[in-house]
Amino acid sequence: MQTKSQEKIVLDAWAVLALIFGEEPAASVVKDLFVNKDISRSSMHMSWINLGEVYYTLARRKGMDAADEVLKDIQMLPVTLHEPSKADVLSAAKIKAKHKLSYADAFAVSLAEKTNGTLFTGDPEIILLGDILRIRQLSKAH
């Protein structure tokens, strides 16, 4: 049995944006992952596709300089960033074909399947897939 610190964690754009914009209680959950000394870079994963979502969202809301700064900061965190291979692209495409979710979200789902990880998200389209993968449902106060 894996201990909590050995659990593979996959982050999507929703989770990272909640942290960046301080949207509680999700922000605290994600922040705790990064300050947990037991979590290593090999335990936490994110697709570059989802990081691209974070980047363009920040660029639209706060400007390119803010997006560039956050990109640098994220690359310093204990998270493995995955460049999608041809196999990853096809895996995400198959997930997109079978389920109602964005193509970018399909990359997060595909990565969770590939790593056998738990996907941390509050995205309602992904949460609906809880019967086919492990999801840690995050939420924002309304």
The tokens for 43 are: 């335990």
Domain ranges within the chain, ordered by starting residue: 4-137
* Residue-wise pLDDT tens digits, 112-138: 999 999 999 999 999 999 999 999 999
> What pTM was estimated for this model as a whole?
0.92
Which residue has 């560039």 as its token pair?
68
The β-bridge partners of 137 are 121
Which class for 50: exposed (0-12), middle (13-18), buried (19 or more C-beta within 10 A)?
buried
Share of the chain above pLDDT 90, in %: 85
pLDDT of residue 2: 42
Residue 1 pLDDT: 36
β partners of residue 135: 119
The residue written with tokens 């944006």 in the block is 17
- C-alpha 20 chain-centroid distance: 13
- Using pLDDT thresholds of 50, 70 and 90, give the confidence band for residue 141: confident
Query: pLDDT at position 142, please?
Result: 67
**Residue 42, pLDDT score:** 75
Question: What is the structure's pLDDT at 3?
Answer: 42
The tokens 């897939």 sit on which residue? 129
Give the mean pLDDT of the chain. Answer: 93
Average pLDDT over residues 27-52: 89
Per the model's pLDDT, the better-predicted residue between 38 and 56 turns out to be 56
CA angle (62 as vertex; 66, 67 as ends), nearest 5: 30
H helix runs in 6-134, sequence order: 13-20, 26-35, 48-62, 64-76, 86-98, 103-115, 124-127
Percent of the chain whose pLDDT exceeds 70: 94
Fold of 4-137: Rossmann fold (3.40.50)
Token pair of 75 as six digits: 């690359």
